[in-house]
Amino acid sequence: MRRTSIGRLLGALGLAASFVLTVSGTASASPPNWSMTVVDLPSLAANGSGAGYRVTIHNGGPSNISSLYLVTKTQNSPAFVDSPSQGTCSSPGAGALSCNFGALTNGSSVSVVVGYAAPASGTSFDPVFQGNTTGATFSDAGHSHGDTLQDPNETPTQLTASRDFAGGFALNQNKVSTDANLGKNNVQSTSVTPPEVGLVATVQDGAGVGTFTCSVCTKTLFGEWSKVTVGHGESFGIPFPVTLLVLGKTLPKGVTADSIELVHVLDNGTTQILPNCGTGELTTSCVTVTPVGSNYRITGLFDQNGRFKGMG
């Protein structure tokens, strides 16, 4: 073969190889078949309380995800980080959330619960969670290659400054209470002490709670209905105290501390009447009633959520 023909052949082969390398170099793997859900814990919280989130990422397969990370747009440090179902997350107070879940196999899911101190003012808060395959943060501005994921239905936690609502995500076991300054425009206060941290703990009273019919009540109801939410409706092995402080002027004529009882309407609609413990010790089957000036404090121990109201 002539020298010129050999040169042309080698040139053509080189061009073809270059084309193959170029095409293979720009090719990228398909995005993972994954999904993310972010659940607010709870959807409504009081300003300055806690705002929690359960984040779950599912790998729909058929391929494994070799490396999976979770970050947030907010640079606020979380105040609570539960142990994830796999992998590790940064500790509370150690800066913006950073989780390294490792490999997520086909058909598997990973979840973690994170809690933040909600702003003392404003109407909403949203950390904006992102899963990715590189560990890059939002501040990376898209310079890192890799796939990212967010929950398209993620909603901000709504915040309220209402004095008839208190609590949110329990960052500690401090008592949660609505406004205890009673008067004509605030006839009742409600409080609960969460049995543990890392769960929803809210109280509400006033018109926003609504009204309920008590077909088994034999005495006159007084005050307002109170709503207590601890956790997600599950029963707790350790009862938590619920207290109603009721303006004395709302009680029916002739009612005394000894004759006051408490109505508890469970979330499933079952109604319980808890009698007065009298001089006995407080148990889960009765309530204590204590005069506070001209008002009355009613306290009971409960292991389930519900609505509460005084009766006498």
CATH architecture, domain defined by 165-311:
Sandwich (2.60)
pLDDT tens digits, 154-180: 999 999 999 999 999 999 999 999 999
Q: Which two tokens stand for residue 208?
A: 């926003």
Pairing outcome for strands 157-160 and 44-46? parallel
Pairing outcome for strands 109-117 and 165-169? unpaired
H or E segment at 14? Answer: helix 3-26
Question: Residue 259 phi/psi, 5° resolution?
Answer: -100, 0
**Residue 17, pLDDT score:** 39
Angle made by CA atoms 38, 168, 132, in degrees to the nearest 5: 25
**Residue 20, pLDDT score:** 35
CATH architecture, domain defined by 34-159:
Sandwich (2.60)
Place of tokens 């142990």: 83
Rounded to whole angstroms, how far apart are CA atoms 91 and 8?
A: 64
Q: Is the pLDDT of residue 21 over 50?
A: no
pLDDT tens digits, 290-312: 999 999 999 999 999 999 999 99
In one-letter notation, the amino acid at residue 242 is V
What number of residues does the chain have?
312
Q: Per-residue confidence at 138, pLDDT binned at 50, 70, 90?
A: confident
**Residue 144, pLDDT score:** 64
Bond from prior residue into 62 cis (ω within 30 degrees of 0): yes
Angle made by CA atoms 83, 89, 95, in degrees to the nearest 5: 125
pTM comes to 0.87
Q: What is the mean pLDDT of the chain?
A: 90
Interval 16-25 mean pLDDT: 37
**Residue 142, pLDDT score:** 56
**Residue 166, pLDDT score:** 98
Q: Is the pLDDT of residue 200 over 50?
A: yes
**Residue 281, pLDDT score:** 86
Question: Residue 271 phi/psi, 5° resolution?
Answer: -110, 130
* CB-count burial class (<10 Å; 0-12, 13-18, 19+) for 77: middle
Q: Per-residue confidence at 211, pLDDT binned at 50, 70, 90?
A: confident
Interval 94-123 mean pLDDT: 98
Q: Is the pLDDT of residue 26 over 70?
A: no
Rounded to whole angstroms, how far apart are CA atoms 88 and 92?
A: 12
Q: Is the pLDDT of residue 23 over 70?
A: no
**Residue 7, pLDDT score:** 46
Q: Per-residue confidence at 16, pLDDT binned at 50, 70, 90?
A: very low
**Residue 6, pLDDT score:** 41
Spans of all domains in the chain? 34-159, 165-311
